[in-house]
Structure 1
């Protein structure tokens, strides 16, 4: 089975409590990686989670470092967090172009997956900012230049274009509602496995000797409600199938 690096899927929150003339701040740390990590481990994969606050210091920046993994998953982590290592951003010392290294590693036979969120693809106010990076070359979709979030507060189900595709295992066609996704455009020659609202949901592509895939909605709340990511057996089939496909296990 595959050794998978998941970068992102964590966040810190600062809330201010005002009580009369007094106020104080409360800080909390949350990880949203649980459903995805559990699903992949249940399929036999080894998962290494790199939380968002660790990414600027520790994300692999060379082919040698990336070679310790079979697949890299970017989930709700923006391009700046990967590119702006502390030495670059705080000390103005030239460093590694880690997204260029990741793109080249993918072309050379690696396996890359991007999962949707407020800091995926173009993202909230286009702050995820992957569109003008080397990663854009190797994904199966083109990204928008503006805020690409499409909120679906009433929920919408996916349209499974290829029910028998190995990338979704035995998930079938009756999927729970999703509450949003990142809008993208399918590239010519890429493979559309599932769509939502007429846009790509699961898309795949061969890129050089490697493979890439996208799931443009979320792997955890809020876009992926509990009925999708915790209660539905198809969730494990989808993400296990995507990893198996990009790592050429199927």
Structure 2
């Protein structure tokens, strides 16, 4: 069997800070990325992984199903819907461009695998700026999204609860979830599989068939800040993510 081809989109950010020291102030900026943990876990399992960062996604994200179909699985992690909707041609030049959320939907319906990972700009996100609710992508997901800020911040730590221990996504994953520091609140879609819950019976991991394809959600993070070091260092971390992507690709 050929290597699993995975496209990770998102998981980067630029931080600008203003330093004020009495009369004087100055500005610094820094670049951050959180995809390396997931990328390494998948590559160590034999997958071929391509990353499109948040700042490159408006330009580089595939604008046709044929281009997206070069990948077995699309992973969306901490990237808002606007980043894919508003290409430079549309935003700056007022030109018609493909709706890439419709491209994602059609890709899944035609057999592609979709994974959405939690964060401040996936699902509904902070101040509802993730903006995935009521998009063409939402019906493809195994969960339904809130209309308002859906974050559940858990600084004390909170662990998931397994519902379907015999599901292929949990094959070889050790029992006992390490704590995470937050998640996005959603509800299970009709006909979807609930694999693990978190908090007040919110989906933690869920999966669904969509047309000829599959989708999986993990409603917490794959990197800091919601995913702390003990979860990243957990022996189940790489196994879980390889299983999630394999299942989404229909290889389980």
Alignment of 1:56-135 (within 5 A): 56-135=58-137
The TM-score normalised by the length of structure 1 is 0.98
- The reply to whether residue 214 of structure 1 matches residue 217 of structure 2 is yes
Alignment of 1:127-166 (within 5 A): 127-166=129-168
Q: Distance in 2 between matches of 1:44 and 1:165?
A: 22
Q: Distance in 1 between matches of 2:114 and 2:36?
A: 20
Q: Does the residue aligned with 1:94 lie in a helix, a strand or coil?
A: coil
Identify unmatched segments of 5+ residues in structure 2.
none
Contact residue 168 and residue 239 of structure 1 kept, 8 A: no
Deviations 1:15-61 (CA, angstroms, capped at 9, x unpaired):
01112211111010001111111111111111111110001111111
Q: Distance in 1 between matches of 2:46 and 2:169?
A: 16
User: Cα offset for 1:168?
Assistant: 2.3
What's the counterpart of residue 52 of structure 2?
A: 50
Deviations 1:165-185 (CA, angstroms, capped at 9, x unpaired):
111231132111011000000
What's the counterpart of residue 229 of structure 2?
A: 226
Deviations 1:172-219 (CA, angstroms, capped at 9, x unpaired):
321110110000000111001111011001000000100001000000
Identify unmatched segments of 5+ residues in structure 1.
none
Q: Distance in 1 between matches of 2:129 and 2:92?
A: 20
Q: Does the residue aligned with 1:133 lie in a helix, a strand or coil?
A: coil
Contact residue 167 and residue 241 of structure 1 kept, 8 A: yes
- The reply to whether residue 247 of structure 1 matches residue 249 of structure 2 is yes
Q: Does the residue aligned with 2:105 lie in a helix, a strand or coil?
A: helix
The TM-score normalised by the length of structure 2 is 0.97
Q: Does the residue aligned with 1:175 lie in a helix, a strand or coil?
A: coil
Q: Distance in 2 between matches of 1:164 and 1:35?
A: 26
User: Cα offset for 1:68?
Assistant: 1.2
Deviations 1:97-130 (CA, angstroms, capped at 9, x unpaired):
0000110110110100000000000000111000
Q: Distance in 2 between matches of 1:72 and 1:168?
A: 20
Deviations 1:69-95 (CA, angstroms, capped at 9, x unpaired):
111000000000011000000100010
Q: Does the residue aligned with 1:244 lie in a helix, a strand or coil?
A: helix
Q: Distance in 2 between matches of 1:124 and 1:30?
A: 19
What's the counterpart of residue 3 of structure 1?
A: 5
Q: Distance in 2 between matches of 1:163 and 1:38?
A: 25
Q: Does the residue aligned with 1:11 lie in a helix, a strand or coil?
A: strand
